[in-house]
Amino acid sequence: MFDTHVNLHGDAFAEDLDDVLQRARAAGVSRFLAICDRFDNFEAVHAIASAHDDIWCSVGVHPHHSKDFPDITVDDLVTASQRRDVVAIGETGLDFHYGYSAEDDQLESLRKHIAASRITGLPLILHTREADDLMGDVLENEYERGAFQPLLHCYTGGSRLAQRGLALGAYVSVSGILSFKSASEVRDVIADIPMERIILETDCPFLAPMPMRGRRNEPAFLVHVAEALAKLKGVDINEVKQITEANARTLFAKVDA
């Protein structure tokens, strides 16, 4: 399995990262994508990827932190992405739930990340919360200016944004939320997404899946995400693992380059 969204550089794994990775490998996780949330964390994220043959990373600024990096440029993102272990741009996006950054700051940052994705050909990791319609509009408008590869990460949005994304060739990643008893609306949306467009993630240390909910999430728990998807789709779990890993390796093509 390929855990396509892990947050390994923070305090949550500061004391036992090697043990966490060993448990994940023993559980069948063979590839990891370490996510950059702030541009000033990029060196730490990249260092983790560089130190492990089975870990790659992204470069970007989470929408929560858009206000903190108003001067980041497209060239900054493109230059960082040229390092061997960088295989994606982001995570970026729009999050109007908490309002940590103003809407204009988030939009400006998102458009810079889209431009970097377009220039580099690397997939764009998108976070969307309470911004479905605007995100769909931005993606469609920007796509008309030139193609790029979207990924709707940890998807909990509505059916309309999912279908608008799929029309642009987007992939959709599912997390432990898929297993939550309260997530029936998420399951309804994912049920209509073709298996050839779905990948798996933990988003650890957040969102531990059932039956691990309430604990620190780890990449080793990715198997429970696969189980939830297999149950939803009525597909054997081994088939789910094979399809989603193949999808992820197609999406993050630089991993095998």
Is the whole model's pTM more than 0.85, yes or no? yes
Q: Compute CA distances 92 → 180, 227, 228, whole Å.
A: 25, 28, 26
What's the whole-number average pLDDT of the chain?
Answer: 98
pLDDT, tens digit (0-9, with 9 covering 90-100), for 42-56: 999 999 999 999 999
Q: How many CB atoms within 10 Å of residue 166?
A: 17
Distance in angstroms (rounded) separating the CA atoms of residues 221 and 49? 20
Tell me if residue 117 falls in helix, strand or coil. Answer: helix
Return the number of other C-beta atoms located less than 10 Å from residue 117's C-beta: 30
pLDDT at 257: 75
Domain tally, the chain: 1
Pairing outcome for strands 86-95 and 124-129: parallel
Q: What is the pLDDT of residues 195-236, one digit of tens each?
A: 999 999 999 999 999 999 999 999 999 999 999 999 999 999
CATH of the domain at 165: 3.20.20.140
Domain that holds residue 231: 2-256
